[in-house]
Structure 1
Amino acid sequence: MKSSSRLVVTFWLALAATTSLTAPSRAGDATSARINELSRAGKIAEAIPLAKAQLDSLERKFGPNNRDVAAALNNLAQLYGSQGRDAEAEPMLKRALAILDKTSGLDSVDAAPMLNNLAALYQRQERFADAEPLFKRALSIREKSLPAGHPDLGQSLNNLATLYEKQGNHDQSEPLFKRALAIYEKVGGPEHPAVATLLNNIGQVDKVQGRYAEAEPLIKRSLAIREKVLGRDHADVARSLNNLADLYERQGRLEDAEPLYQRAVTIRQSALGPDHPDLAISSNNLASLYQSEGRTADALPIVEGTIANGRAQLRVALPVLYASKPQLLPAEKALDDALNVVQRGTQSSAASAVNKLAVRLAAGTDRLAQLVRRDQDLASETEMLDKSLLAAVSKDRTRRDPAAEQRSRQRLSAIATERAGLQKTFAGEFPDYAALSNPLPMTAKEIQALLSDNEAMVLFSVNEKDTYVFAITREGVDWKPIALGAEALSQKVAAFRRGLDINKANDGAGKNGLFDLALANELYTTLLGPVDTLVKDKRSLLVAPSGALTALPFHLLVTEKPSAAIPETFAGYRDAAWLLKRQAISVLPAASSLKASRLFARKEESTKPMTGFGDPLFNPLQGGAGDSRTTRQASRALVTSAYTDFWQGAGVDRMRLSSALPQLPDTADELNAVAKDLGVSDSDIHLGTDASETTVKRANLADYSIVYFATHGLVAGDVKGVAEPSLVLSIPKQPTDFDDGLLTSSEVAQLKLNADWVVLSACNTIAGDKPGAEALSGLARSFFYAGARALLVSHWSVDSEAATRLTTATFDRLKADPKLGRAEALRQAMLAYLNDTASPRNAYPAFWAPFALIGEGAVR
């Protein structure tokens, strides 16, 4: 039984992977040929009914687990993908791969098209880490199975190159594109559609690197081939038009670019339909061009259309909406439309976790809330199992574990059945749940209603070329553009943070690398200056950052120009006009987080004040934690350069790692002091060997208002091979999957909390999952999902003595005035540390300012 692959060139977005339809060997050549012909002609709506009928016929004839059924699933999935219906395409491709894996294995050449197609889907969704191993596996299979000049090998080279190019890896992409071009020119001739795709791709590489003179003839030749071979109204022609117009726009040739963008819009409207993502790309490009020409009146209706269908791009919509007020659009409408786009376009993983918590809180009844949590947990488990299976199919068969994969598939099947039952329950018993689970973005008035008289909210949208700041109080609203884009802000935030390394702050003798007050003032003027009149007199400032700004400790902005960028001594930092001196600051993962914490606040209260975990035992061979009190000055972090010695094979050598972890005996003092303030029972404070994963996982954490961890924190990237951020607890003598000493973010997400506050008195707990990742993810995301309303987290490696002092002082102030609010209590604790003249270094921000309040900082 043979199946022949027939190449269909599909070019997603500006750059993407080519994808294949596969002819089922027993489906009838005429039907397969017709589906392929319609697909090549861009007549997807006509091809889909034929592909559905073919799939149904094959399933009836041969059963569900047949190779030809897999090929038919692949074909239908690709057609759905051509219409932007990835949610329907993805499960079909996974099922096709599972069938092929079971019947003939994934080492055969038949598997390569399906691996490519699933990878291409992930690439369209910018899930590059998921796509890369699949593309590589498909290329490896074809290199082993096909002659060097086979066109399918050229397809795989193009696919992997496209992935690299989308990530800006030009040195890796360009040689692969050129190898693929040579193959297609040899086997298909100079006018093959795949040649057009490769010419276009190489032109794109030249274009984005500013080599315009080299790029233009390549893209023009691609356009000419596509018009001749595919027809002037084919969707791939629109891709070449779009790319050539973009080249002209980069050169300032706006008059040349405009008709090309207009024609691309017309083609895509006709060929792909009104809701296709490719049409949205062309529409946004045309609107952006109009705005560049000062034609806001022409750009506005296009932008309003993209907002209506959820396809607006921040880089386009915000400038157009800002320029439209008030002549073309009422100021209130322009602001609400802008907030709509920002809330849809800047959804971080932490914000997503808060939204899931909000859905559970809004569910109200115990039964619905429990069902929602169960459905969300099952969805998270599905995602993890999917990732493990994807990792498996990208490996050689000799490196796979068939039994484990089968268990995963059986579990996925069971989850699908259970979730289907839950959806029926939601539809039957809770008809309002669908609207509840998909909340609409908030308007300015809705946000204002959630704020108190003493609060201001500042929301940022960081885009490629510019940034927008929105300020909202109960009395007024304002928004302004900032002439700094993502890359420039990222560089400034990185420079700002370089002065916050406590290892460089031993004394004030050397100024190299110390905190730059002038830069802190420059960032204040840039980011908050445009809206300062509205927000400066409010006692509480709520900040919803995006992009690089999630890594910026806003409380360390300086509101007045300093006399010196770096003071002569540490004590000189005490007089700086820190923003913290003016306002208490809370950080929100997103604007929607405010609604989650206030509109859907918990109705039930926790029954116990606090539970805490600290002073864990890192070396199980020691007699107990805290035997030596000589490490009170330890940082709650490790030194990155020392990690390479702690690995055996793919996993961490916890015994060697534990020997490098300094004990933290002062964390016991910290927890005991806070516990005394709050009247906490001794049995609720877990120290030494009792501060373990086992204790955490078996505790009824939902009973506690505060859940407190005082230990080392590891962020991914700190330790080679730690795939996710973790809190280090007592390391057992015999590690198990249940308790290996590292409470990872995925394990945190499985906890059941009902906490007003989770305190992570560790290092770097605000950081992203890996270098360059968004901050406020990882541990923060998982604790929000588990049920926390607010987190106390750290921006950098924390001095242990300072951490103890700051957290204890924060809770002292809350005990003295329970109505103070968490953000204000933290502010007062920081200021007290700053103003303590007992040591000059107390004034240095690396010591007194590591913590940030994420989430609800007020008393509600």
Structure 2
Amino acid sequence: MRSRNRLIFSVCLALLSGTCLSAPSLAQKGDVAALSAKINELGRAGKYTEAVALAQAQVESLEKRFGPAHRDVGAALNNLAQAYGDQGRDSEAEPLFKRSIAILEKTVGPDSPEVAAALNNLAALYQRQQRFADAEPLFKRALAVREKALGSGHPDLGQSLNNLATHYEKLGRHGDSEPLFKRALAIYEKAAGPEHPAVATLLNNLGQVGKVQGRYAEAEPLIRRSLVIREKVLGREHPDVARSLNNLADLYERQGRYAEALPLYQRAATIREEALGANHPDSGISLNNLASLLQTLGRTTDALPLTEKTLANGRAQLRVALPVLLAAQQQQLLPAGQALDDALNAVQRGTQSSAASAVNKLAVRLAAGTDRLAQLVRRDQDLADEAEKLDKAIVAAVSKDRARRDVAAEQRSRDRLAAISIERANLQKTFAGEFPDYAALSNPLPLKAAEMQALLSDNEAMVQFAVTEKASYVFAMTRERVEWRSIPLGADALSQKIAAFRRGLDIGKASDASGKSGLFDLALAHELYGTLLAPVDALIKDKPSLLVVASGALTALPFHLLVTEKPAAAIPDKFDGYRDAAWLLKRQAVSVLPSAASLKALRVFAARSEQSTKPMTGFGDPIFNPAVKPGDGNRPTRTAARSLATGAYTDFWQGAGVDRARLSDALAQLPDTADELNAIAKNLGVAAADIHLGEDASETTLKRTPLADYGIVYFATHGLVAGDVKGLAEPSLVLSIPKQPSEFDDGLLTASEVAQLKLNADWVVLSACNTIAGDKPGAEALSGLARSFFYAGARALLVSHWAVNSEAATRLSISTFDRLKGDPKIGRAEALRQAMLAYLNDASSPRNAYPAFWAPFALIGEGAAH
């Protein structure tokens, strides 16, 4: 079975045609209804340019006649948005759909079929963009409204059933999707007849469900019937015909029937390019599918020009581009340097993470200095973040039923969004007029190999990974040379191996040596080394510093725990046996970069910032139960790990306040973090007033502290990761819980609050649990808290991969800073490496050799001295 990416982009599950609204209130006064029908008809015929022109004229005419908030203007805006969406112009379509929904909700009511249609269309746009969490509640609300208003046999209900089923199918939820598709098919066959285009869509989609589950004998006649209907009713050159051709070809390809698949892919590509244009997303899908099959057939010469076309228009898929380019290089169809740079271009465009984006924003801001430009840049970025949050809030609101809506609050959000739009437009004019160099910096192009090499020092090597469906790729470089190789493991296989790798890093299972069940598997660590790094080891092994740019599941892999030589045993008889393993950390200091471009951002731009005036501020040993004071006899002296007890996060809250007793029961106090912070402060000569412990380790104190004055900002506390804790909307650090929680201070420093801080920190230390993790299950790692701290102004982060043993965290942190103080030239990554090795080599306790204790931390960002 293909991966989800393949399902989304190549299989092309089809939404039923988006709904154009007809503005019935004006049908008798002018032919508005007929005009809307004409726009819809043009869209179904694939005449998208004509549809857009007619829809634009309709909006302009109605706004002039009735003003911007009339019911019929809302309907016309939906029509125009749908026409834009058909052309792949989603950025223009989205705000029009939202404006349409707002107008229609006011004029015809939130439970009207017209609103359901517009909700459905906006959800379809989100689905195309893989914004599934945004799409699902909109699809569900549209379905509920239509079923209530129209009845169980209405065709529009069939449309909503199909679209929700399509959503489920793209998430791999076949059991949820198939019955909805069948119900929708029955509605359409009865209401519209067996040869209606909607019937073809449902047949196609049911065929898809069978196909991705390997039920080819069931799937083929369904897709074939869909193709026959579309060719007969829509014409042989219609874009929907290309959809059926593409899907039938994919079915044949899965069965190895390449000779049958090839002409279908070719015909689909021709239809789409002629009907939609070469830059349309659907045209890109067909070009990628055709190139992929040609490469499978060994026809690199034919696949290469198709891949170059997708690279030029930004439609290249890594699963296609990388194998084609690598083969083209090996067969000397392209110069090696061009193939490499094209591949790096595709990787950088295809794997840009939010953490990498945050680093770039930091670089832009710092490069602007501390003058007026810096202030304007920060203002523009803050406005953009605020707009994103407001937009999500509005989408969440319109997904709710009427009884749960706060109309006044929604209107305030819309008003604020309008004001933000005006302010940002004025800022862009200021940038263009006064700071023309800003645009080039704020929208950087992907780096070429030579540019990356120039950023490396003589003692550094960098590896960058790209993970695709069937295979992955590693790019390795030093200042002198570059190599890239394929890795015979795709996304699913890597995910499984990394999950197995991490199962051996559970502190609880490592508390004694009574059994081997669940302990760290050295053989697997060596196998992953052989897969990921051994192909390029000759290039990188002699460099003392290794920079890693990971993607996909690899962001959850602690690379320093790879084992470079075959171990004597997969699981040693005693913990002491782990000490002798050939850990990668023994050979090299490891730093993790959110992206290759972030190296330039951190070394060229961020490095220019002014030095902070004070060495460090720290927050630790917070009070989770205000009734227990520091020094109280009831206060614990030591805890095992900085982790949260099981239980729903929402259980700790009562209305707007905190149930302190329940939260206190779940959160173990961390008195040893006071020792950790005080020891580090003493080493660095930090004033006592800059270390905030107990009740003073609060959000109130933090938000009132001039954090930009400090080179290090240190948190020693619990970290709560969204997704690990039910009901937690975003990752947070736990600070002291006040007696009267408020919006300003509720004891949890969330990622969104972190982003609003103003830092100028060489590094931020998150001596907590799981701070490297993503902010929801399946999310990219290095996001959440890490992303927010980069955005706020951190140039490096010390974060943890798993629940940290508290005593170990204290010891490792103190040791790292002590070594860095003794020799600042060694850099952060080497200081951390030495601290870990010292812990590993301490024979006073057998468990010191076990990696769950000595290796939880990773350095993200700039690890070198400067």
Shorter chain as denominator, the TM-score bin is over 0.9
CA shift for structure 1 position 409: 1.7
Select the residue among 17, 23, 29 that pairs with 2:15.
Answer: 17
Task: Give the aligned residue type for 2:798.
Answer: L
Other-structure match for 2:382: 377
Letter of the structure 1 residue corresponding to residue 504 of structure 2: G
- Please give the per-residue CA displacement for 1:631-657, whole angstroms capped at 9, x wherever unaligned: 423311113357685455799744411
Q: Aligned pair in 2 of structure 1 residues 156, 653: CA closer, same or farther (>3 Å)?
A: farther
User: 1:447-466 maps to which residues of 2 (within 5 A)?
Assistant: 447-466=452-471
Q: How does 1:814-825 map to 2 (within 5 A)?
A: 814-825=820-831
Task: Name the structure 1 match of 2:202.
Answer: 198
Conserved in 2, the CA contact under 8 Å of 1:640 and 1:718? no
More displaced 10-residue stretch of structure 1: 320-329 or 525-534 = 320-329
Asked if 1:632 is matched to 2:638, the reply is yes
Quick one: structure 1 residues 209 and 652, their matched pair in 2 at CA, closer, same or farther if it must change by over 3 Å? farther
Q: Structure 1: how far apart are the matches of 2:97 and 2:11?
A: 20
Aligned pairs (5 A) from 1:579-658? 579-600=584-605, 601-624=607-630, 630-640=636-646, 646=652, 653-658=659-664
Aligned position for 2:451: 446
- Are residues 87 and 644 of structure 1, via their aligned partners in 2, closer, same or farther at CA, if it must alter by over 3 Å? closer
Offset of 1:371 from its aligned partner?
1.1
1:230 lines up with 2:238 in the alignment: no
- Structure 1 residue 104: Cα displacement: 2.5
The alpha carbon displacement at 1:607 in A equals 1.1
State the AA in 2 paired with 1:15. L
State the match for 1:329 in structure 2: 334
8 Å Cα contact 2:650/2:728 also seen in 1: no
Q: How does 1:775-790 map to 2 (within 5 A)?
A: 775-790=781-796
Range that drifts further, 552-561 or 676-685 = 676-685
Relative to structure 1, the CA distance from residue 86 to residue 846 in structure 2 (aligned partners, 3 Å threshold; closer, same or farther) is: same
Task: Select 1:153's aligned residue among 152, 157, 162.
Answer: 157
* Superposed displacement of residue 413, structure 1: 1.7
Does the aligned pair in 2 maintain the 1:658–1:731 contact within 8 Å? no
The match for 1:695 is 701
1:707 aligns with 2:705: no
Residues paired across the two proteins, number: 850
Secondary structure at the aligned position of 2:41 is classed as helix
TM-score, structure 1 normalization: 0.97
TM-score by length of 2: 0.96
Q: Does 1:339 align with 2:333?
A: no
Q: Following the alignment from structure 2 to structure 1, what is the Cα–Cα distance between the partners of residues 632 and 85?
A: 59
Matched residue, 1:403: 408
Contact 1:13–1:278, Cα closer than 8 Å, also in 2: no
| Matching of residues 110-125 of structure 1 within 5 Å | 110-125=114-129
Partner of 1:796: 802
Does 1:548 pair with 2:553?
yes
Deviation at 1:376, TM superposition (A): 1.0
The aligned amino acid for 2:22 is A
Residue 8 of structure 1 aligns with which residue? none
- For residue 640 of structure 1, give the secondary structure of its aligned residue in structure 2: coil
User: What is the correspondence of 1:407-806 to structure 2 with a 5 Å cutoff?
Assistant: 407-600=412-605, 601-624=607-630, 630-640=636-646, 646=652, 653-806=659-812
1:500 alignment partner, SS class = coil
CA apart distance, 1:400: 1.4
- What is the CA deviation profile of residues 418-473 of structure 1, one whole-angstrom value per residue up to 9, with x for unaligned ones? 11111111121122322222111101100000000000000000111100001010
Contact 2:795 2:861 in 1 (8 A): yes
Kindly indicate whether the alpha-carbon contact (under 8 Å) linking 1:471 and 1:478 is maintained by their aligned counterparts in 2.
yes
What amino acid is the match of 2:463?
V
Query: Which letter does structure 1 place at the counterpart of 2:830?
Result: E
Q: 1:300-348 CA distances to partner (integer Å, 9 max, x unpaired)?
A: 0110111111110000000000001151001111111000000011111
Kept in 2, the 8 Å contact 1:458–1:543? The answer is yes
- In the alignment, is the contact (CA less than 8 A) between 2:711 and 2:760 conserved in 1? yes
Q: Which residue in 1 is equivalent to 2:275?
A: 271
> Cα 1:407–1:253, aligned 2, differ >3 Å: closer, same or farther?
same
Indicate if the aligned counterparts of 1:820 and 1:859 stay in contact, CA closer than 8 A: yes
CA shift for structure 1 position 32: 2.5
The residue correspondences of 1:802-841 to structure 2 (distance < 5 A) are 802-841=808-847
Distance 1:525 1:711 in 2: 36
Q: Which residue of the other structure, out of 93, 98, 105, is the alignment partner of 1:101?
A: 105
Counterpart-to-counterpart distance in 1, 2:11 and 2:363: 34
Moved more, 780-789 or 351-360: 351-360
Distance 2:570 2:10 in 1: 49
CA distance in 2, matches of 1:645, 1:706: 35
Across the aligned residues of Structure 1 and Structure 2, the Cα RMSD in angstroms comes to 1.5
- In the superposition, relative to structure 1, how do residues 102 and 572 fare at CA in structure 2: closer, same or farther (>3 Å)? same
> What is the letter of the counterpart of residue 24 of structure 1?
A
* Pairwise CA distance, 1:766: 0.4
Look up the SS of the partner of 2:126 in the other structure.
Answer: helix
Counterpart-to-counterpart distance in 1, 2:44 and 2:541 = 60
Q: Which amino acid aligns with 2:157?
A: L
Using the TM superposition, give the Cα deviation of residue 407 of structure 1 relative to its aligned residue in structure 2, in angstroms. 1.8
The CA distance in 2 between the partners of 1:814 and 1:639, in whole Å, is: 34
Asked if the contact 2:19/2:40 (under 8 Å) is kept, the reply is no
Q: Distance in 2 between matches of 1:744 and 1:492?
A: 31
Tell me if structure 2 keeps the 8 A contact 1:258–1:289. yes
2:176 to 161, 169, 172: 172
In structure 2, the residue corresponding to 1:110 is in which secondary structure?
Answer: helix
Aligned with 2:41 (options 14, 32, 37)? 37
Name structure 1 gaps, 5 residues minimum: 1-10
CA offset digits 1:367-398 (Å, max 9, x no partner): 22221111111111111111111111111121
* Residue aligned with 2:267, SS: helix
2:658, 2:198 → 1: CA distance?
46
Distance 1:630 1:147, change over 3 A: closer
> 2:649 & 2:515 partners in 1: Cα distance?
28
Among residues 55, 60, 76, which one is paired with 1:56 in the alignment? 60
Distance in 2, Cα, partners of 1:655 & 1:103 = 48
Asked whether 1:47 is paired with 2:47, we answer: no
Structure 2 counterpart of 1:151, which letter?
P
Residue 6 of structure 1: aligned partner? none
Partners of 2:847 and 2:650 in 1: how far apart?
Answer: 32
Counterpart amino acid of residue 361 in structure 2: K
Within the candidate set 305, 312, 316, 1:312 is matched to 316
CA separation in 2, counterparts of 1:633 and 1:746? 29
Does structure 1 retain, via aligned residues, the 8 Å contact 2:154–2:187? Answer: yes
> Contact (CA 8 Å) 1:751, 1:786: kept in 2 or not?
yes
How far the C-alpha of 1:37 sits from its partner, in A, is 2.1
Structure 1: how far apart are the matches of 2:649 and 2:86? 46
**1:659 Cα shift?**
2.6
Deviation of the 1:740 alpha carbon = 0.3
SS at match of 2:783: coil
Matching residue of 1:141: 145
Query: What is the CA–CA distance in structure 2 between the aligned matches of 1:174 and 1:40, rounded to whole Å?
Result: 25
Q: Does the Cα contact within 8 Å between 1:498 and 1:513 map onto a contact in 2?
A: yes
1:34 Cα deviation after fit = 2.4
1:285 maps to what in 2? 289
Contact 1:16 1:120 in 2 (8 A): no
Partner residue of 1:243 out of 227, 247, 250:
247
Q: Is the 8 A contact 2:713 2:761 kept in 1?
A: yes
* More displaced 10-residue stretch of structure 1: 650-659 or 98-107: 650-659
